Structure 1
Amino acid sequence: MSHVGKKRKLDKSRQDRLYFDSYSDVTIHEEMIADHVRTGTYRTAILRNSESIRDKVVLDVGAGTGVLSMFCVQAGAKKVYAVEACSIAEQAVKIVKHNNMEDKIEVIRGTVETVDLPEPVDVIVSEWMGYALLHESMLNSVLYARDKWLRKPGGLILPSKAELYIAPMFDLVVEDRLHFWYTVKDQYGVDMSCMHDFAKKCIMNSDIAVNPVTVEDVLSHPARFAELDLNTITTEELREVKGHFKCSCFGCASVNSFCVWFTVTFPCPDKPQQPVVLSTSPFNPETHWKQAVLYLDCPVNVVQDTVITGEVRMYPSEHSDRHICIHVDYTAGEQKRQSKTFSIPDWTVQS
């Protein structure tokens, strides 16, 4: 028998253990490797930075199966330290050996905050991005590695920049799900329309939904509300990432949600005006990150050129530092300013 107790914040060691355990199963690594946009973009970016990687020492933070480390060897790296905290590191050792790269890649089991590298590094590579960019809070580990192990000046971080975007949207799938309860009577002779409000409460709640967004559902051009420079940003600044946005609606519609997504950028010394960009935009091919969808309590009707303005704040959950909260203040046209806070469900225990 279960009971509902008061949520309390998990201690950091348990947060970390739950987080790393989630990467011990093959499924998540299959999903990431199979994401061609993700994996292919990283390989392209690393190979295009071969002049900066050749004969250099590389640190791969959160190496997983070691695929990025092997891309760095393909780009000419002299030595790669592949740091991985979870048990998938055992598989990375096998994969590295299977590809005859054990003389170039050293897999180190542990967190980057606790391992001791034999030397400083010239390059840091990491695929640290979570849902809505900051979920999982792995960027903190990359910044720790940057400050402790990256040679200064001249050290390279791949990727080196991240940007966050927001746009209003009309989620037709959700509207169809809510309308479903009005169709039951015609099908079965039982009127279940009173379920509409309950269904709406369940579906359009305060959770951050991770869904693929259809381009046709997006109601404006995207607005960038934050930019993170990985060369300079601090862990303290990550405690609250925020910015303002302004969107102009395409036409008459009902805004029932916002969607949030990110891009990360890899510098390319040979063509500085043409960096490699990994985008999770709904206007680009789908990735395993999909988009973060934030459902409003009350839909807002808009017309052509209705301006929606507001501010987005992203910060760690009070229950778990690895889980992100998103607070949105917004005003549509002449309507009153509205606010809502969203979160991805936390790892919690009962007390």
Structure 2
Amino acid sequence: MSHVAKKRKLDKTRQDRLYFDSYTDVTIHEEMIADHVRTNTYRMAILSNSESIRGKVVLDVGAGTGVLSMFCVQAGAKKVYAVEACSIAEQAVKIVKQNNMEDKIEIIRGTVETVDLPEMVEVIVSEWMGYALLHESMLNSVLYARDKWLQPGGVILPSKAELFISPICDPVVEDRLHFWHTVKDQYGVDMSGMADFARRCLMNSDITVNPVTLEDVLSHPARFAELDLYTVTAEELREVKGRFSCESFGSAAVNAFCVHFTVTFPCPGPDNKPMVLSTCPFKPETHWKQAVLYLDAPVAVEQDTVVSGEVSMYPSEDSARHICIHVDYTIGMHKKQSKTFSIPDWSSEAQS
């Protein structure tokens, strides 16, 4: 398995500080709450689980502004411990009081790994998902809370996560590459020699977070991993991997893969139909968009061309909260290719 060039490794304390500092500004909270798919699915899932929540003690891991905690009170929770490590907890205290829920919700400032709760809980709720599901590595905190604070037979919301991959054709990149071949007609100067340089810049090893349109997806999504939050361990999160295989819809040029995820909430009731929060390109857009992985060069496919391989996701050696994605893939009769991707550092401090 190849790895990206090494930078100075961040110690865990610094990694955590950069991560929590990113949540101190209003913009990220506005983006999350304004994401109707995200926020409304959580609200409806929590209310649908009112039989499991009513009269119970709930732990909200990474509570942020406290919106999920307040949904739990609306669903009948007796007590909610809202654990939040960054300074947005101060705003959560105000919001909880504004909604007259301070007798039900206790905001606790700190990480779930360091705080001390006065009792065990019967429900854990958390919105822990990052880009490509595992970026930011917050799921480890949910598992820690599960193992330390959740009573036997307790409920975890959401309870399952799944990862999918699809081959895509991104026309924007192709247009940008073709641009250099059009300069001569416009200005009389041949700039086509820039095309290879542009391809290396655009189709690099970064995990690009962009919305992918339905028209650009070249096959049905293939599931390559499933995480059961009741049983998955922190050790298993050190490498989440799985094989995939799909068939192309028609003739096109594959120039990237798209990774997306779903999380599932059990919904007890007459039909017992679970509720799914999906970041699939075929569904309404969320703030997670999709993770796009550009190949070094496009590969032509025809109807029913098989695209197969294996995906491996693991924490970066430089920062454990950053995810890397390694893909071994074969397209049609072409030989197997491999490429490793990572999300760019969120702070220049990582380089200092």
TM-score (norm 1): 0.97
Where does residue 216 of structure 1 map in the other structure? 215
Distance 2:121 2:263 in 1: 22
Counterpart position of 1:317: 316
* 2:261 corresponding residue in structure 1: 262
- Deviation of 1:188 (Å): 2.7
Q: Which residue of 2 aligns with 1:241?
A: 240
Q: Which residue of 2 aligns with 1:93?
A: 93
Whether 1:137 and 2:143 are equivalent positions in the alignment is no
Given that residues 57 and 77 in structure 2 are in contact (C-alpha distance below 8 angstroms), is that contact kept between their aligned partners in structure 1?
yes
What's the CA shift for 1:230? 0.1
- Matched to 1:280, the amino acid is T
How far apart are residue 68 of structure 1 and its match? 0.2
Q: For structure 1, which segment, 186-195 or 232-241, has the greater mean C-alpha deviation from structure 2 after superposition?
A: 186-195
1:333 to partner: Cα distance: 1.5
State the shift of 1:180 in Å. Answer: 1.4
Which structure 2 residue ranges, 5 or more long, are not aligned? none
1:251 and 1:30, CA in 2 relative to 1: closer, same or farther beyond 3 A? same
**3-state SS in 2 of match to 1:7:** coil
1:280-291 equivalences in 2 (<5 Å)? 280-291=279-290
Aligned residues: 346
Task: State the one-letter code of the partner of 2:102.
Answer: E
CA-to-partner distance for each residue in 1:168-227, whole Å, 9 max, x for gaps? Answer: 010011111111122222223332222111111111100000000011110001100000
Taking a change above 3 Å as real, the CA distance of residues 350 and 222 of structure 1, as seen in their structure-2 partners, is closer
Q: Give structure 1 stretches of 5+ with no counterpart.
A: none
Matches for 1:88-237 after TM superposition, within 5 Å: 88-152=88-152, 154-237=153-236
The answer to whether the 8 Å contact 1:6/1:350 transfers is: no
Q: Partner of 2:342 in structure 1?
A: 343
Match of 1:15 in 2: 15
Alpha-carbon displacement from aligned partner over 1:18-51 (angstroms, at most 9, x marks no partner): 0000000000000000000000000000000000
Give me the CA root mean square deviation: 1.3
Distance 1:171 1:296 in 2: 11
> Which AA in structure 2 matches 1:137?
S
After superposition, the Cα gap between the structure-2 partners of 1:231 and 1:272, relative to the gap in structure 1 and judged at 3 Å, is farther
Amino acid at match of 1:240: E
Cα distance in 2, alignment partners of residues 142 and 49 from structure 1: 19
Q: 1:310 to 1:271 in 2, by over 3 A?
A: farther
- Rounded to whole Å, the distance in 2 between the matches of 1:26 and 1:157 is 28
- Kept in 2, the 8 Å contact 1:249–1:305? The answer is yes
Q: Tell me, yes or no, if the aligned pair for 2:205 and 2:293 is still in contact at 8 Å.
A: yes
